[in-house]
Every structure is written in C-alpha cells, then in structure tokens.
Structure 1
Amino acid sequence: MAVKRIRYFIFIKDVMSLALTAFGGPQAHIAMFIKIMVEKRGYITEEELIELNALCQILPGPTSTQTVTAIGYRIGGANLAYLTLLVWMIPAVSIMTTAAILINSYQTKNLSLEFTRFIQPMAVGFISYGAFTIAKKVINTKTAIILMILSAVVTYFITTPAALPIVLVVAGSITAFKYKKQEMAIKEKIKIKWGNFTLWALVLVAAALLGALTQDRFVLLFENFYRNGSLIFGGGQVLIPFLNTEFVEFKGYLSSEEFLSGLAMVQTVPGPVFSVSSFVGALSVRDLGIGGQILAGFISACGIFLPGTFLIFFIIRFWDSLKTYRVVRASLEGINAASSGMVAAAAFILFEPIQGSVMDVSVVLGTFLLLTLTKIPPPLIILGGLLAGFLI
C-alpha cells in the first residue's frame, strides 16, 4: 500500500510538472507525455499511450487532458484520475481567470489596452493555422471536402448554438454509409459498463433542469460549458466556434475583441487550450466582482473538462471491441470534416469585428506564415506581438 501511495505521489508530481511546462497544445503535449510517462517513468508503454491518444482524439473533449487522466485511471483508478484532472488544469485555469480579471479591471478604470492591438489579428492567424492543420490531417476525400465546405457555410450563417452539434451528427451519419470501404475486422462482442456514461448523462440533464428552474447564473454557466464540452470533437481549435457562437454572438457576454484577446493569451499558457473557458466564464459574470469571477472561472473549467473525462472512462473499457465495427470508423470522416469547416468559419467570423486594415491583414498572414514555416514557439510569437504593441 505504501509503495502504491509513493507511486501515486510521484505520478501527480510529474503531472504538475507537465502542467507548468507543457506549451504548444496536444501535439506538443503527446511528445512530453512520451518522454516523461513512458521513457522516464514507465507508467505505460509507448504503444498504449499512442492508442489512448488516438482514442481521445475521436471523443468529444480536450485530447491531452483526456489522455493524461486516462493514464491516471489506469494507474490508480477513478480517484487518482480525478486528482490528475485537477492538477493538470488548475495552473492554466488560474492564469486565464486572472487574465480575465485584469482585462476587466483595465476596462473598468478606462485604461488603454492599445498595447494588445496586434493580439486580436494574431488570434485570427492562430485560428486559421488550426483550421489548416486539421484540414491537412482529415480531409482526404471528395466527400470530406464537400462536408467541410458545407459545415463552414452553415456555421458562418447560422449562429444558434444548436446548429453545431446537428452539423456534426449529420456529417458523421453521411460518411457512416461508406463503411464498406473500411477494412474488415473480426467483430468482438461489446461488453458495456454504463456507470460513467450514466454519470455523464445525469449531470447533463440535472444541470439543464436545475439551470432552467433556478436561473442561477453559475448553474447556467456550468450547463453551458458542460453541454459544449460534450460536443467538441477535435480539440481546442474546434472549441472556438462553439464558444464564439454561445457567448459572443448569441448571448453577448463578451465582445469579439475580448474573446480574441483570450484566444491569443491561451497560446502563451502551458497546459490545456480548453482553459480558455475559464477566461470566457470569468468575463461572463464581470458584474459580480472578483470573487464571482474566480468562482465562474473554476465552474466553467469544470463544466468543459468533466464531460470528456466521464466519456473516456466509459469508452476505454470497451474501445478495443467497438473499433472493430466499420460504421464507427467510417463516421469519423464526416465528424472530422465538419469540425474542420467549423474552425475555418470561426476564423472569418472573428476577423469581421477587426478593422481590416492593411496592418491587421498583414498581422494575420504573418502569424499564419510564422506558424506554418518556422518552429518559433507560439508563446514567443504572442509575446512578440505584445512587445510590438508597446513600441508602435
């Protein structure tokens, strides 16, 4: 028992180290997981880690967060996994909540935010790069190209939150009919333990009912993020159109400028990109004071992270059997294509409020080219933009 506790303590210490140093999003995170979790500690084999990461990529929720919590689950069960989730998300969530409080404080005191003038077009450059990166990976057929374009058009013109999950479901259903093109596999009988799925569904329904009955802003905030966290396929970049539609276009809790500032700032923060939710949540209740903003930041983060955690714990038990079904693998083509289109549409939607001057367009293109053609870390690119804002 004592040996297990020491092992758990060392694992949590490693997770904290990663939470403070893992810049660059899921692609960079997986490399660090291999270095520390596989090569240094041997918590899991490289093959197991890669498969876990692949599974998390096709589930709704934050990929790197689900991967690290799934490792915790395999080592020490649900209790260690939930502790892993907290340790992994708290540094980034704390930083982004603080950033929201500081931005609101600046605006309340009528202090100039002119030094952030380049951050907003840079954020559009990051989103454009995200759309380009996703498209390169998942758009391999004519069907996927068509679904990506249709998804982008629908997302651009229909700004109601309900439209996004419908687009994902329809796109996945369309490509599911192409299942015969998938390689045959020996089907295994699926033995399902419904506990974590039931927990996910109960929280979803309870939050919706409680929010509707009480109209409490914190409950509604949790429900908004929990619902979105249950629908995000494709990682942090796909989260952007969902949050923009829900909190900027539909509810008007944030301005486009504030939203873009948060998206840019999260690029400079280690840990999960989904921590931008705490920035959005904190600004959504700015009238409730600093205490309310801190609580909202934490509640929003819990809402966005918990669905993916529940679902990975649910499906990891029978994934080996499920992936033998060709229709499941075929539907992923449509889901990924639709996600790519959503991110592309988000880049256009979020560029519209910007002045659109030659300078702004140049910053967007320059950021995109730096990300595409160089290996400069994103935090350095953002810091360079802030420095330019001070100097110019």
Structure 2
Amino acid sequence: MKTLIEILLVSTKLGLTSFGGPIAHLGYFHEEYVRRRKWLDEKSYADLVALCQFLPGPASSQVGIGVGVMRGGVIGGILAFIGFTAPSAVALILLALFLKGMEINDAGWIHGLKIVAVAVVAQAILGMAQKLTPNKPTKAIALAAIVTVLLWQTAYSQIAIILLSAVVGLLIFKNHENDLEAANAQFPISRSFAMICLAIFFGLLIVLPLLRGVVSSSGLALFDSFYRSGALVFGGGHVVLPLLEREFVPTGWLSKEEFLAGYGAAQAVPGPLFTFAAYIGAVINGWKGGVVATIAIFLPAFLLVFGTLPFWNSLRRSPRIKGALTGVNAAVVGILIAAFYTPIWTSSIHAPQDFAFAAVLFSMLAYWKLPPWIVVVAGIVVGSII
C-alpha cells in the first residue's frame, strides 16, 4: 500500500508541474523516476520509451503507465496515470464549463488562443518533419498523406492513410537497420493477461462502431469517437487534433471556435495534451461528458501498454515492424500538415496582423524556448487588444 500511495503522490506532482509537451514530459520522468528515485535503470527506461513511441496513443502517458506497472503492477500503472492526468483534465473541464453559454465567436481573447494553436502546431510540424521524414521516400509518403487528407475529407481517410503507409513502409523499409540496442527489460505482466488486453483493444475497435450504428445513444457515440481517436493516432497529442476535429466539428457537436479555443488553452496546462478530450466532452455534455471522454481516449493506451509489455523484447528486433512504423510516422507528418491548413490556419489567420502575431508566438516557442504557458498568456492578452 505504501508503494501505491508513493506512486500516486509522485505522479500527481509530475501532473501539476510537467509543462512543455511529450518530449519534455519524458525528460521530467527521467529526472524523477530514474535519476532521483531509481525506480528503474537507464536501460529499462530506454526500453519503455522505445515501446511507447512504437505504439499509437499518447507516448508520455504510456511511459508513465509503464513506470507505474514496473513499480507497482497493474494498480500502480492506473495510479500513475490518474496522478499525471487528473490535474490537466480537471482544469480543462472547468474551462469548458466556464465557456459554456458564452458567445465566444467574436471574443478577442478566443481569437488569440486560436493564433496560439497556429504557432504550437507549426512548431510540432517542424520538429516532427525533421525527425520523421529525413529522406525522399518518407517525404513522398508525407506528401501523399497531405494530398489525400485535403482532397478526401471523410472520417475514414486518415485511418486508410495510416494503414496504407504501414504497408508501404513495410515494403520499402523492410531491410531497415534496427538501431535499438538489444535489451531484455522485465515487465510484471503475464502473457495471458496481455492477450486479454489486446483482444479487448481490437474488440472495442470493431464492436463500438457497429453498436453505434444500431443503438441510438449519444453517450455511446461519444465513447466510440474518443476511443477510435485514442486507438488510431500516432505521433502524440498534436496529431490527435485532426482526428478529433473530424469527429466533432462537422457533426455540430461543437463549433470550430470552441474547438480551437480549447486546443489553445490546453497548451497552458501541464500534463498530457490528450486531456483536450476532457474539454471537448465537457462542452458537449458537462462534467460527465468530460469524464467519459477522458476514459475513452486513454483506454486504448492502457490496453496497448498492458498488452504489449511482455512481447516487446521480441517485437522490437523485427526490421519489418520497424519499417512499417517508419511509413506510419511519415504519414503522421502529412496528416498534421493538412490539419495545420484546415481547420487551424483557415479559422485563425484572417489578416496580416494575425500572421505577424503568429510569427511572434512561433518564435517565442521555437527560438526563444519560452514555456508554453507564457505563450498562451501572450496570446490571450494581445488577442484581446487586437
């Protein structure tokens, strides 16, 4: 019990102080879990990070869950998740309840938050493109993803792109050198439990859309949309943006203004960016919707971490799997660039002063390395003025 309480307290401290996105979160985790508390060694942490970057979903949250599992079993993983996620989820639910019923379409500070979203996603694109599209084949995959998403705007286009890119990557990069060191980290989860988790993951992915078509339930539809978004997104929080936008804005569940305002505000809170789902759920159905949305979008992360930990040592040595992931990551860059154009750019940049302000905010993030919350505050203040 003492170990579980310690996991909850330490992860809550990280949830209250971890600003800066998933890469920064991994740095905070390393400092706290590896260097200070020595809950796991460098090699085990590197193994865990490699696994979570391989899986779809929120990488930093999955690493936190994995550390909790290694320290305190399945319950430890759940507590580590709650501590790291609850602060930002609660903050965004409260924001959604505050904005509900307000006329925000013409509010200057909301427009400022939308321009913050332009700067944040531009920075994410720059960093991801440099890392994930280093050569002509990966750039070609990204370009194909951009063209397809912009010309074929359906709920299934991004899923199809990810699957096709995995196949292309497997064929093109099947002899990809495995640049990960061989290691044999031990995870306290049985293979039988892992198989059950994987069965539930794929079962829900298939059954939820079918039930949604048969049963008329807004709660089920909400859960299905968030679950699929959490299950099919590669590349972390910024990439979930286009999936969530396609699910909720065209259907009229919330407006573009509400969507982008919440996304901009999500940069100001610590913890995982996936808690943006809590904001969307709360806008749609109050605090209960926020709780359902948070559970639904993070559930795939739990099932995948629990389901793959025992098999990771063998999976990570497969050049074919590494090649498929290379293709998927390149497509993710293209999907994010398409989302940068619409809805982000088209809904936010209307005049030269908007572009000038976005350039300043981008420089604050990318070149001056200011904390994201400072950029958000600047967006709110200047947006209110201009």
TM-score w.r.t. the length of structure 1 is 0.91
The alignment partner of 1:376 has SS state of: coil
- 2-structure distance, mates of 1:347, 1:23: 22
- 1-structure distance, mates of 2:82, 2:303: 14
Provide the residue aligned with 1:64 in structure 2.
60
Aligned match for 1:332, one of 325, 331, 343: 325
Provide the residue aligned with 2:239 in structure 1.
238
The alignment partner of 2:14 has SS state of: helix
The alignment partner of 2:146 has SS state of: helix
Give the letter aligned to residue 34 of structure 1: H
Give the letter aligned to residue 246 of structure 1: E
Q: Are positions 1:179 and 2:179 aligned together?
A: no
Give the letter aligned to residue 93 of structure 1: A
The alignment partner of 2:310 has SS state of: coil
Provide the residue aligned with 1:120 in structure 2.
114
- 2-structure distance, mates of 1:176, 1:115: 46
The alignment partner of 1:215 has SS state of: coil
Maintained 8 Å contact 2:65/2:302: yes
- 2-structure distance, mates of 1:73, 1:297: 26
- 1-structure distance, mates of 2:319, 2:102: 54
Maintained 8 Å contact 2:107/2:384: no
Provide the residue aligned with 2:262 in structure 1.
262
Q: Which moves more between the two structures, 198-207 or 120-129?
A: 198-207
Q: Are positions 1:92 and 2:93 aligned together?
A: no
- 1-structure distance, mates of 2:257, 2:74: 39
Provide the residue aligned with 2:70 in structure 1.
74
- 2-structure distance, mates of 1:173, 1:6: 47
Shift of 1:308: 1.3
Provide the residue aligned with 1:279 in structure 2.
279
- 1:187/1:14 CA distance change after superposition, 3 Å: closer
Maintained 8 Å contact 1:225/1:304: yes
Shift of 1:115: 2.6
Provide the residue aligned with 2:296 in structure 1.
303
Provide the residue aligned with 2:353 in structure 1.
359
What do the CA deviations read for 1:357-377 (whole angstroms, capped 9, x no partner)? 001111222222222211101
Q: How does 1:207-218 map to 2 (within 5 A)?
A: 207-218=208-219
Maintained 8 Å contact 2:133/2:139: yes
- 2-structure distance, mates of 1:30, 1:197: 25
Provide the residue aligned with 1:290 in structure 2.
none
Shift of 1:51: 2.1
The alignment partner of 2:43 has SS state of: helix
Q: How does 1:20-169 map to 2 (within 5 A)?
A: 20-107=16-103, 113-169=107-163
Give the letter aligned to residue 88 of structure 2: A
Give the letter aligned to residue 380 of structure 1: I
- 1:184/1:226 CA distance change after superposition, 3 Å: closer
What do the CA deviations read for 1:60-83 (whole angstroms, capped 9, x no partner)? 111111000111111221122122
- 1-structure distance, mates of 2:203, 2:105: 45
Root-mean-square deviation (Å)? 2.3
- 1:71/1:258 CA distance change after superposition, 3 Å: same
Aligned match for 2:310, one of 311, 317, 322: 317
Provide the residue aligned with 1:372 in structure 2.
366
In structure 1, stretches of 5+ residues that fail to align are 286-292
- 2-structure distance, mates of 1:260, 1:316: 35
Shift of 1:273: 0.3
- 1:31/1:156 CA distance change after superposition, 3 Å: same
Q: Which moves more between the two structures, 373-382 or 111-120?
A: 111-120
Provide the residue aligned with 1:341 in structure 2.
334
- 2-structure distance, mates of 1:140, 1:215: 46
- 1:387/1:207 CA distance change after superposition, 3 Å: same
- 1:101/1:58 CA distance change after superposition, 3 Å: same
Shift of 1:137: 0.9
What do the CA deviations read for 1:126-180 (whole angstroms, capped 9, x no partner)? 1111111111111111110011111111112222121111101111111211212
Q: Which moves more between the two structures, 147-156 or 350-359?
A: 350-359
The alignment partner of 2:205 has SS state of: helix
The alignment partner of 1:147 has SS state of: helix
- 1:212/1:198 CA distance change after superposition, 3 Å: same
Q: Are positions 1:13 and 2:9 aligned together?
A: yes
Shift of 1:184: 9.8
Give the letter aligned to residue 63 of structure 2: T
Shift of 1:111: 9.9
- 2-structure distance, mates of 1:86, 1:348: 34
Maintained 8 Å contact 2:174/2:323: yes
In structure 2, stretches of 5+ residues that fail to align are 184-190
The alignment partner of 1:182 has SS state of: coil
Number of residue pairs the alignment of both structures matches: 377
Give the letter aligned to residue 239 of structure 2: V
- 2-structure distance, mates of 1:187, 1:43: 21
- 2-structure distance, mates of 1:303, 1:28: 25
Give the letter aligned to residue 180 of structure 1: N
- 1-structure distance, mates of 2:180, 2:37: 34
- 1-structure distance, mates of 2:328, 2:349: 33
Q: Which moves more between the two structures, 175-184 or 27-36?
A: 175-184
- 1-structure distance, mates of 2:373, 2:136: 36
Maintained 8 Å contact 2:97/2:283: yes
Shift of 1:299: 0.4
Give the letter aligned to residue 301 of structure 1: T
Give the letter aligned to residue 306 of structure 2: F
- 1:390/1:360 CA distance change after superposition, 3 Å: closer
